Amino acid sequence: MKKDIHPSDYRYVVFKDMSNDYAFLTKSTANTKETIVWEDGKEYPLFKLEISNQSHPFYTGKMKLVDSAGRVDKFRNKYKKHIADKQ
C-alpha cells in the first residue's frame, strides 16, 4: 500500500441535513466556513448536507423530492416534449 496518501488533519465536524434539521457529529477532514454549537456546549465546524440517511427515500421508505438547485424543473423543461408525448 502507498504511504502518506491519507489526510492527517482529522477533526470533529457536525454534519447537518438541511431538509429535516438532523445533525450528527463525527471526525472528518471536510473544509467548512460555518460553525455550530453542539449539544455538549462546544463549537464545531458545520458541514451542510442536502440529504442524509434520515431523509433519503431508500432508508425512510418514503418518496420525497429534494430539489435545492432547481434541477428537477430544469430537467422537466428540457424534456417536456418527450414527457408530454408519453402521457
Tens digit of each residue's pLDDT (9 = 90 or more) over 64-79: 555 556 777 777 778 8
Q: Locate the domains of the chain by residue range.
A: 11-86
Amino acid (1-letter code) at residue 74: K
Higher pLDDT, 71 or 85: 71
Give the global pTM: 0.62
| DSSP 8-state assignment for residue 45 | E
The set of cell numbers assigned to 37 is: 454549537
Amino acid (1-letter code) at residue 40: D
Residue 42 has pLDDT above 80, yes or no: yes
Residue 61 has pLDDT above 70, yes or no: no
Query: How far is CA 60 from each of CA 25, 36, 53, 55, 56, rounded to the nearest angstrom?
Result: 21, 26, 8, 6, 6
**CB–CB of 20/54 below 8 Å?**
yes
